[in-house]
Amino acid sequence: MSEGAVLTELLFLLLPVAAASGWWAAQRSRVSLGSAATAKDPAFFRGLNYLLDEQPDKAIDVFLRLAEVDRETVETHLALGSLFRRRGEVERAIRIHQNLVARANLEPEARGFALYELGQDYMRAGLLDRAESLFHELLEHRLQPERALRALLELYQQEKDWVRCLEVAEQLRVRQGVPLHVEIAQYHCEIAEKALRAGETPAVVAHLDQADASDPGCARALLLRAELASQRGDRAGALDLYRRVVRQDPRFVREVLPRLLACLADEAPAAVIAELTRLYRDRPSSALMLSLVEAVRAGQGEPAAIRLLGDYLERHADLGGLARLLELRLAQADGKGDETARVSLRVLRHLLAHRPAYQCEHCGFTARRLHWQCPSCTRWKTIRPIEPEPIAELVPGSSDGRHDEPAAVDIGPRPAS
C-alpha cells in the first residue's frame, strides 16, 4: 500500500459511518482512474499535514490546486468531502466536490461518485433544487442509478411531493428490483388524506385502493376509509372500520378511540362498556383500559370504575392509570383526600406531561404524538405507542430488599446461600 493510500485509510478512521456502510469497499472496488502517481506530489502530503494540524481551509486550498487527480487522490478528496459534510461543514464539502466534478480528466465512474456526494452536500445545505438536478444528471448518464433514485426519494419525501415519490419508487422497483410496498402505500395514503380534506371522494377511494394493493391491510388506509365513511354520515360503516383498525394494528388505538367513541355517542352505557370490553380482550392496551374505566364510571358509578382500575394497576405499571385512580379517589373523598394523594397526583402529572408517548422501534426516537414517518430515521410505520410494563408477581422469599434487578422482570426464586 502506498503512502497516499495509508493516509486515505487514516482519513477513513475518522469516518466510521462511511466505512461501516460499505461505501469504502465500493469505492475501492469500483473507482478506476488513470495511473498518474499524484500521491507522490509533495503538495498532496502538505495538504494532509495541514489537515492533521487542524487547518482545514489551508488543506483544502492545497488539494484544490493539485494539478492531477489519480485513483488515490480522488479517494482522498471524496473521503475528505464526506468527512466535512458529516461534521456539518457543508461549504467545505461543496468546495471539494465541486472541484472534483469540474476536473476534465475524471473518469465517468469517479465523476458519478463525486456528483452523488455533491448532491448529498446540496441536500444537507437545503439546496434541494440543485441536489435534484444532480441526481437526475446521474440517472441520465446511468451513473449510480440506485443511489441516485434513493436520494431523489428522500428529497421528494422532504418536499412532501408524494406524486413524485410514487414515480421514483416505481422506477426503483422496475429498474433496480427494490420492493417498496410499505412506502408506496404510505404515499398513496398521504395523497388520499389531502384529497379527503378537499372533499375529492373519487380520488380518496382510488388512492386508498392502491394503498391496499401495495400493503394489504394497511391500517392507515383503513383509518382514512373510516373517516370517509364518517364524513358521508355512515356511522355504522365507520364504526366497523375503526374496530378493524384496533384489532389489526394496536399501534393506532390512541388515534382511533376518540373517533370510535364518537360513533357510539348515542348508545346506552352498557353497550359502550360491552364494546370496549370486547376490544380490550382482543387487543389489550393502556388507552383501551382507560376508556373502559371512563365508560364504567358513566354507566356503573365511581366505585366500580375504581375497582376495575385498581385491579388493572395490580398488573400494569401504568402511570397514566395511577394518576386517574388518584383523581377518582380524591373526587370520591370530596376534597377531603389526604395530602399524600394530592402530592402524588401533582408529581405524576408533571412526569406524564414530560414523558414521550411514542417511540420509533427502529432508531429509538421518542415523540409526544404519532408520526407516520419517523422524523429521525425517516422510516414509515415504525413509531409505536409506549405501553406500560407488566408487573411481575413477586415470588415469596425472592426479595431481599435490595433493588438490584428490574422490577418488571420475573426474577424467580434465589438459590439458597
Contacts with Zn ion by CB under 5 A lie at 360, 362-363, 365, 374, 376-377
User: Is the separation of the CB atoms in 27 and 75 below 8 Å?
Assistant: yes
Q: Tell the smallest beta-carbon distance from residue 245 to Zn ion (Å).
A: 22
Residue 363 or 395: which CB sits closer to Zn ion? Answer: 363
Residue 180 or 289: which CB sits closer to Zn ion? Answer: 180
Q: Tell the smallest beta-carbon distance from residue 363 to Zn ion (Å).
A: 3
Q: Tell the smallest beta-carbon distance from residue 40 to Zn ion (Å).
A: 46
Where are the extended beta strands (E) located within 242-292?
none
Residue 326 or 374: which CB sits closer to Zn ion? Answer: 374
Residue 55 or 373: which CB sits closer to Zn ion? Answer: 373
Q: Please, what's the b/e burial string for 224-260 (b: 16 or more CB within 10 A of its CB; e: otherwise)?
A: bbbbbbbeeeeeebbbebbbbbbeebbbbbbbbbebb
* Side chain identity at residue 392, one-letter code: A
Query: Could you give the angle at the alpha carbon of 306 between the alpha carbons of 305 and 312, nearest 5°?
Result: 90
Strand order in the sheet with 366-367: 366-367, 358-360, 383-385
Closest CA to 110 of 119, 101, 99: 101
Q: Tell the smallest beta-carbon distance from residue 17 to Zn ion (Å).
A: 16
For strands 358-360 and 366-367, give the pairing. antiparallel
Residue 184 or 374: which CB sits closer to Zn ion? Answer: 374
* Side chain identity at residue 239, one-letter code: L
Residue 216 or 356: which CB sits closer to Zn ion? Answer: 356
Q: Tell the smallest beta-carbon distance from residue 384 to Zn ion (Å).
A: 11
Q: Tell the smallest beta-carbon distance from residue 110 to Zn ion (Å).
A: 33
